[in-house]
Structure 1
Amino acid sequence: MVHTCVVTGCRNRRTPGTGLSFYRFPRDPDRKQRWIEAVNREGWVPNDGSRLCSTHFISEMKEPGAVEILDKQEARVEAANALLFLQGQGSTAVGERVQEEHPEEREQEAIVEESASSSLSTDDEDEDESVSDSKKGKFDAPVNFEDILRALKKENQALRESVEKMSLSENSLRNDAEKVKFYTGLPNYFVLETVMWLLAPHMDGMKNVRLSKFQQLLLTLMRLRLDLRNQDLAYRFGVKVGMLTKTVHRMVNIMSSTLVPTAVFWPSRAELRKNLPAALRTSHPDCAVIIDCFTVPFEEPVSRGNQHQQQQRVAPSSQGEGTSYNVLKYLIGVAPQGVVTFVSRGVLGNVSDKTLAEGCGFLCKLLPGDVVLAARNLDIADSVAARGALFKIACSHQGEASGSSEGSPLADSSSEAVSVQRHVERVISMVKRRYAMLTGPVESPFTAASERTSNLSTFDKIVQVACALNNLCISAAPLE
């Protein structure tokens, strides 16, 4: 700070080479008042920046007077305190607080100031120069801002990659086949992208500003694959449960009408024989399908209205006093290669296998001479035989009845029978193992008919969609 003398008419300024000293007004009230009177400016009150130059003091004295000595010492002490304050010590505030708390020590101030080191400068210019030197020493080292910027950009990129890897987005799944397989059941991102490409045109009417089309498909696949509850998925995708539930139902309807008709179909006999697995080629060259029936329990008993609707699908002969209405029963047919070729609607209650097979349209798919394999006795041999086909049980016990009307046993060696049995069991369990939601229990909102014009419940569509998605994966027996 450049100080100017406050005396009227004096134009002295503190500049290098002048040899002048500038003094601040003393703290002592009496001395301070005498200085103000000497300035002779009516109504004027000094502030912290007010200074008097040395030309207005008695200069004939060889030695400075006691008043001048005290003023210089006070200036030195205050300059030193200011330097300490700039260095983070806060000495000025501490010193002033001590003086306020202990007024008796103010009488000894002059003695303490006179004993100060003579090495301190006699004017404020020297103190400012020392402060400047301190600052220069502190910030003397050059700073390379380009290196700092590059380091921050690198750290920012690493954080972005870490967040992206933990998120459920297209980029996080694109190069991670294991992640795609875990969350969707599909073998890689290419298949997932293909499914998205097939469904996208049918999703244009779905107004959902919070979720993209990809997110809507992904959360639906996660629902089927991992059987995650709606609340869990709502937390993961940052939406309300109601919105997520509607999204799942809409996506299931779209996939049911788009994927199922093109992915779940009954192949021709020539195609079946051409791609027959080696495990069945010798023992069962005419195998057309491997079937099984499975039940899925409810989370809660269905309503009476739903019971009546489901009972209408079952033949009257299957109804009995001991019928249970807390399960859905399905018949699934799988080609020997592991591709699902047929899946029935769900029938409510403990209906017999024969009634289910005769009422779901499965028998209409069979041709004379076809062989139907199963891992257990389903009590449908007579119904299959009526279509000119043959029903056999894949087991390793020789002499066990095949279930056909003629009662012919499996005519193959023990090792071949074990191989066939293992293959059949692997094919049947593949779909349920890939999509955990098919193991139940089923939540009650999924058991109601999804549309007024359709007899299919939402869960029926979920089973069919799971079968269609299974057919997009690698089969149990890859083509040779």
Structure 2
Amino acid sequence: MNTNTYKLYKDPKTCFIPTCSKTDLKNPDLKFFTVRKELKQRWCQLVGRNCPNRALFCCADHLNIDAAIQCDKRIGVSNKFVLAQPKTQTIATQFRGRKIKESVMPSRMMQLPNTEKSPNQSPSLFGTSNFDSSSSAQQEDIEKRGREHLLKIITNKPKMFLGLPKSFWWIINFIAQECSCLAFHIIICLFKLKNNDSFARMSEEFQMARSTIRLVFEKNVVVLSTYFQNCIYLPPLSEIKKNLPLAFKIRYSNVQCIIDCFEIQIEKPSDPEKQAQTWSQYKSCNTMKYLIGCTPAGYISFISQGYGGRTSDKAITENSGFVDVLPLNAVIMADRGFKEIESLKESHQNGKLLRPPSVFANQKMTKKDVIKTKVIASLRVHVERVIRRLREFHMLKPHSVVNNKHLKYLDDLVIIACGLSNLQNPIIKDV
């Protein structure tokens, strides 16, 4: 005699919503409620399906929807039944609705919306919207108007979105005519430099393909660099003294340039040798290092090419060609990290490097050295303000982590940012 026990086969409970495939077998923790017979016809009509003769079940996920009034208005059905909150102590509990007066509306109304999507419907933030045969044309018109609106905002506030003062907006059209390119492409390039948005985001903002945005950026970076490098030069000494800040006129009226270095974090190179060359002990990451020089008034007069973060300030100063652009008898102000620069002494016999006195471990600084250190530090802070203005371009932030694919364009981006910075208002307003 067979002692095996046989379980009676029972059809699984399936949610009657057309788009729901949940069952009590697949989802044992989900509660299913039986639809009352007097409500079956109406519920099936609301979800757009035929009413079967068998029992209907509804899962708990489709009972907590506050759309009874809106759903009734959409399909033209009078609101005779309002579903009350079910009791869900056990899985076997059956849901029982009750009739209430229309004048007494509960705080939470629950109704099953029409979740069956037709080919003419598309999801929207405010429900479903129906499109006809002209939907593609309407979508293109919406995208065109959206891009025009973005360009209008950029035109009204170019300094916020491009880093370009509004009074110099004509430069975009000038460069576009000189190099036979589109002004729109120049705007895209400057927008990327200023905001550092991803190409995926920019493709949505400007309604262009991501690959097209990338090609436009890479092509126009070099073009813009050749034009904006003309905005970076060392003015003559007479012009520097004419705009010399009051703090410099007292003791250091002969200073022509203040120099410093700044670093930009990059992605970790795959080559171990390049990893060692770009590792910065100061920033504790892989960086590119640049030497920048500015006048006492804050005008950028020199920018070097990029060096690995491991390179010292002294080595960059001697190898970047900075000394070659200096006139004779030049007076340079620098930080304590710029020690004796041999090339400055060799090519400029009367050249002078102003820097705070060196500090030794077992030697106390004199009162004179302390005062000199404070004075030079208070004057040298102007180059830090210039660097901070460059950091407003988000691609040049200290930890922007420049992609290795864009590393070859980083020098051009720095030149463009320096040129745009020189077009802005002076760092020191009262001179």
On the 8 A contact 1:357/1:380 being kept in 2, the answer is no
Distance 2:413 2:231 in 1: 14
Matching residue's letter, 2:304: S
Corresponding residue of 1:296? 264
| Superposed displacement of residue 428, structure 1 | 3.5
Contact 1:325 1:350 in 2 (8 A): no
Structure 1 stretch displaced more, 421-430 or 463-472: 421-430
- Out of 149, 159, 184, the position equivalent to 1:167 is 149
What is the aligned partner in structure 2 of residue 477 from structure 1? 428
CA 1:380–1:221 in 2, change beyond 3 Å: closer, same or farther?
A: farther
* Gaps in structure 1 of 5+ consecutive residues: 1-159, 207-212, 402-406, 448-456
Cα distance in 1 for partners of 2:374, 2:310 equals 35
- Counterpart contact for 2:263–2:309, Cα < 8 Å: no
Corresponding residue of 1:392: 354
Are residues 1:353 and 2:324 paired?
no
SS in 2 for 1:478: coil
Secondary structure of the corresponding residue to residue 257 of structure 1: helix
Q: 2:315, 2:274 → 1: CA distance?
A: 18
Higher helix share: 1
Distance 2:373 2:262 in 1: 27
Contact 2:293 2:383 in 1 (8 A): no
Q: Report deviation, 1:415.
A: 8.1
What is the CA-CA distance between 1:198 and the residue it aligns to?
2.4
Per-residue Cα deviation, 1:71-118 (whole angstroms, up to 9, x for no partner): xxxxxxxxxxxxxxxxxxxxxxxxxxxxxxxxxxxxxxxxxxxxxxxx
Question: Matches of 2:403 and 2:164 in 1, distance apart?
Answer: 24
- Aligned match for 2:255, one of 280, 287, 294: 287
Could you tell me which amino acid in structure 2 is paired with residue 196 of structure 1? I
1:252 and 2:212 correspond: no
The residue number in structure 2 matching 1:465 is 416
Flag structure 2 segments of 5+ consecutive residues without an equivalent: 1-141, 360-365
Distance across 1 between alignment mates of 2:163 and 2:177? 23
Give the aligned partner of residue 183 of structure 1: 161
Q: CA deviation at 1:307?
A: 4.5
For residue 369 of structure 1, report the CA deviation from its aligned partner: 3.2
Q: Which residue of the other structure, out of 194, 198, 205, is the alignment partner of 1:225?
A: 194
Structure 2 vs 1, CA of residues 251 and 408 (structure 1 numbering), >3 Å: closer, same or farther? farther
2:251 aligns to what SS in structure 1? coil
What is the Cα deviation at residue 244 of structure 1?
0.8
Q: Secondary structure at the match of 2:301?
A: strand
- Percent identity between matched residues is 25
Query: Are 2:262 and 2:387, in contact at CA under 8 Å, matched by a contact in 1?
Result: no
Matches within 5 A, 1:99-138: none
> In the TM superposition, what is the alpha-carbon distance from 1:187 to its structure 2 partner?
2.7
Q: CA deviation at 1:253?
A: 0.9
Residue in 2 aligned with 1:195?
171
Deviation at 1:278, TM superposition (A): 1.4
Quick one: which amino acid aligns to residue 187 of structure 1?
P
Secondary structure of residue in 2 paired with 1:326: strand
Q: CA deviation at 1:383?
A: 4.2
For the residues of structure 1 that align with 2:370 and 2:170, how far apart are their CA atoms?
44
Residues 1:245 and 1:417: Cα distance change in structure 2 (over 3 Å): same
- Does the C-alpha gap of structure 1 residues 293 and 225 become closer, same or farther in structure 2, counting only changes over 3 Å? same
Deviation at 1:303, TM superposition (A): 5.1
1-structure distance, mates of 2:311, 2:339 = 12
Q: Measure, in 2, the Cα distance between the counterparts of 1:226 and 1:246.
A: 18
Q: For 2:395, which of 437, 443, 448 is the aligned residue?
A: 437
Larger radius of gyration: 1
- Determine helix, strand or coil for the equivalent of 2:311: coil
Structure 1 segments, 4+ long, off by >6 Å, are: 163-166, 407-415
Count of residue pairs brought into register by the alignment: 278
Q: Which residue of structure 1 lines up, in the alignment, with residue 331 of structure 2?
A: 371
> In 1, distance between residues paired with 2:372 and 2:164?
37
Once residues 339 and 202 of structure 1 are traced to their aligned partners in structure 2, the CA distance between those partners, rounded to angstroms, is 26
Contact 2:228–2:415 at 8 Å: present in 1 too? no
What is the rounded CA distance, in whole Å, between the counterparts of 1:444 and 1:257 in structure 2?
A: 22
- 1:350 Cα deviation from its structure 2 partner: 0.4
- Give the partner amino acid of 1:438: L
Mapped partners of 2:285, 2:424: distance in 1: 34
Give me the whole-angstrom Cα distance separating, in 2, the residues matched to 1:228 and 1:288. 37
Secondary structure in 2 aligned to 1:329? strand
* Cα gap change, 1:412 to 1:302, in 2 (>3 Å): same
TM-score, length-scaled by structure 1: 0.51
Letter in 1 for 2:215: K
AA aligned opposite 1:468: G
Rounded to whole Å, the distance in 1 between the matches of 2:197 and 2:340 is 36
Cα deviation, residue 365, structure 1: 2.1
In the superposition, relative to structure 1, how do residues 344 and 234 fare at CA in structure 2: closer, same or farther (>3 Å)?
same
1:278 maps to a residue whose letter is L
Report the Cα distance in structure 1 between the residues aligned to 2:415 and 2:148, rounded to whole angstroms: 31
Provide the secondary structure at the position in 1 that maps to 2:292.
strand
Corresponding residue for residue 79 of structure 1: none
TM (norm. structure 2) is 0.56
Residue 331 of structure 1, CA deviation: 0.6
Q: Structure 2 residue aligned with 1:277, among 245, 264, 268?
A: 245
- Which AA in structure 2 matches 1:186? L
CA distance in 2, matches of 1:409, 1:475: 32
CA 1:416 to 1:442, structure 2 compared with 1: closer, same or farther past 3 Å? same
**Rounded Cα–Cα distance in structure 2 between residues aligned with 1:307 and 1:377:** 24
User: How far 1:270 moved relative to its partner?
Assistant: 1.7
User: Is 2:426 the partner of 1:426?
Assistant: no
CA deviations 1:197-216 (Å, max 9, x no partner) are: 32112442x5xxxxxx3332
